[in-house]
Every structure is written in structure tokens, then in C-alpha cells.
């Protein structure tokens, strides 16, 4: 039977959502602009910020482009470090 580690990505997911929110505020971008760029509804944006695992690649690419998210932050969100976090 497969071993399941619950919550392995939870911290990284929440950290990415916090980064998106903080950059949106710092760069003075509206939620409507981000939602339009990601081709999603405003309500979907809030749902995905609450549950970042639902963010699609199209959304992530739009957020990276509009907010100019640094590569280091994206890499940190996608890879586990040596300690598993």
C-alpha cells in the first residue's frame, strides 16, 4: 500500500498564496486584473487563494507575468528542500 504523507505541501501552498497576495498589494494590482489575466472569475481567485492547490498552470503563469514573481519564490513553492519542507 502506498505511503501517504498528509500536509507535505500545505506550508508551501500557503506560502505561495501569501506571496501572491503580498505582491498584489505591493504592486498595486487589482484582484479583477489578476482574475482577468488568469481567465478566471473573481470568486475563483478567492477560492484558489484559500486553497492554493487548486491554482492551475494558466493562473500561475498569469500571476508570474502580472506580479513579476521572482523565480526563487516559484522554485521554492515547487520543490521540497532537503528536510522535506
Domains (range + CATH), the chain:
10-78 (1.10.260)
Closest C-alpha among 75, 78, 40 to residue 59 = 40
* pLDDT in 10s for each residue of the chain, 85 residues: 555 455 668 889 999 999 999 999 999 999 999 999 999 999 999 999 999 999 999 999 999 999 999 999 999 898 877 555 5
> Rounded CA gap, 45 and 8, in Å?
23
> Tens digits of per-residue pLDDT, 21-44?
999 999 999 999 999 999 999 999
Amino acid at each position: 500500500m502506498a505511503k501517504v504523507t498528509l500536509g507535505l505541501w500545505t506550508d508551501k501552498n500557503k506560502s505561495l498564496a501569501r506571496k501572491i497576495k503580498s505582491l498584489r498589494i505591493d504592486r498595486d494590482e487589482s484582484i479583477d486584473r489578476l482574475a482577468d489575466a488568469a481567465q478566471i472569475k473573481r470568486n475563483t481567485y478567492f477560492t484558489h487563494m484559500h486553497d492554493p492547490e487548486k491554482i492551475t498552470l494558466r493562473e500561475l503563469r498569469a500571476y508570474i507575468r502580472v506580479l513579476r514573481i521572482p523565480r526563487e519564490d516559484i522554485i521554492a513553492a515547487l520543490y521540497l528542500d532537503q528536510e522535506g519542507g
